[in-house]
Amino acid sequence: MQDSIKVRKALLSVSDKSGIEDLARFLADIGVEIVSTGGTANAISSAGIKVTEISDTSGFPEILDGRVKTLHPAVFGPILFSRANEEHLAELRRLGMEAIDLVVVNLYPFESVAPTGDFDKCIDFIDIGGHSLIRAAAKNHQYVAVAASPADYELLKAEISENSGATSLRFRRGQAAKAYAATSQYDSAIFEWMSKSETDEFPEIRVFQSRLKEKLRYGENPHQAAAVYLRHDRPGAVASARQHQGKPPGYNNLADADAAFKLVSEFEPEESAACAIIKHCIPCGAAIADSCQGAFRNALNCDRLSAFGGVVAFNRSLDGETAALILDIFTEIVIAPEIERSALEAFRARPDTRILSTGGKFCPAATEFEIKQISGGYLAQDADASSVNGFSLKVVTDRAPSPRQKDDLIFAWKIAKHAKSNAVILASDGATRGIGAGQTSRVDAAKMAAWKLKSRLGEDARRKVERDKSLVAASDAFFPFSDGIEVVAEAGAEAVIQPGGSVRDGEIIDEANKRGLAMVFSGIRNFRH
């Protein structure tokens, strides 16, 4: 296997023409012969650089409106032949073909047109020739270098300069791996678009497209390596959020930011400001109010101790007054759809705090899947887009909740949906008052919520809850025994929302009636493991 290969002839055919003129000039200056296609050839020749049309090399014109231009033996033979094979060399000489040592190709931007839903346009943007050229060069990387992205041009020029006009095997192999990653990503995007029309949302083969955004300092723990990959670069996606200041976020930071932002996205910003404070992907507090300031104060008041070092999320643009309040407690990340200039100026007092904006609320796409790795495979499910409203709730007790209680029940249900199971939420006036989550029994979750209500909730808020008798409780799954109802009732809850469906539902309802509680069934379980 030959290590150093002199670059004498290069094929350039790109959709994204950024940087191609500079690269072509570099190659021409060192005596490399350039062959190219259509628009790329025009761009190069317009810059005064000598270029040969690929049709002159192949002896065959472009046909079918450019659908076929490089798919010819005279193009692929000079790329794919083995330079260690005498029969290959003799055959190339007999056919009058010269070796191509470098292939620079990038593909039609299929991913940018797929969201339009325009079928004909999507079909036209499925690259065939470019895809084949990249794979051919990568396959024969023993002798041929490939660059499938403008991001590689500077690396390519440095390699050729350092090796006196040649490329090394190590470089070619690395570029080949990148090339196959690029074509794999491309095919995945096409698969994802085509699979939308499939009736089976879980086909026999499932391909998930992603690309590296950045490597992280470490993973969940310092001894674990980690990175973040992008699947969907769109508004509301935490992975593609814009960072305005602060240290690079870590693995745990991003996991918490994602959990927090998904929670606040349950609430429409036009109706109310929502704030969630998250630690270890579990809510420390959450609230809705007329303003971000009010929502933050009420969310923080639920459990100020746990909120230390957490992630704070909003569903509205974050203003300077609210930012000033956040400065009173150590916060790892603040995330919102937009960050106002006044807020950015306030956060300069805490330069290490990471400030992220997503450009919009989180809305799970129709093709969005939640993926969890298990040994030997993956678990995949569609996102939990469940919702409840006042009309979908079934009153099962003698007493019905008041309109105010019904609003708080729906609020508490949304928080329980985003808390780790088993979860029980105590809430009133659009704010969490006690959160029990991540417990192995439901009664323990209820006890934790009651304990936090008594020990962590601010004194003024606790007195108001006791005075107004406005407390409600939500459970992410049914109560299997009446002991959980007993705990939340003794904590002061006047109304309860739960999915229902237990074999002991009758006992649970009887206990609620005995204690004068209003209870509604949502019919929806929201486990979160």
Catalytic residues: 139, 280
CB 85, CB 79: distance < 8 Å: no
- In angstroms, rounded to a whole number, what is the distance separating the alpha carbons of residues 419 and 417? 6
Helix H or strand E segment including 422: none
Distance CA 476, CA 282 (A): 13
3-class DSSP assignment, residue 173: helix
Sign of CA dihedral 524, 401, 485, 415: positive
The DSSP letter of residue 140 is T
State how far the Cα of 314 lies from the Cα of 362, in Å rounded to an integer. Answer: 11
CB neighbour class for 401 (10 Å; exposed up to 12, middle 13-18, buried from 19): buried
52-53 and 33-36 beta bridge pairing: parallel
How far is 57 from 79, CA to CA, in rounded Å? 13
402 secondary structure, DSSP code? P
User: Cis bond leading into 422, ω under 30°?
Assistant: yes
Of 183, 175, 108, which is closest to residue 146 (Cα–Cα)? 175
CA–CA separation, 461 and 300 (whole Å): 11
d(Cα 89, Cα 81) in Å, to the nearest integer?
Answer: 8
Pairing assessment for the beta strands 431-436 and 424-428 based on DSSP bridges: antiparallel
Q: Regarding beta strands 310-314 and 331-336, do their DSSP bridges make them parallel or antiparallel, or are they unpaired?
A: parallel
Helix H or strand E encompassing 3 = none
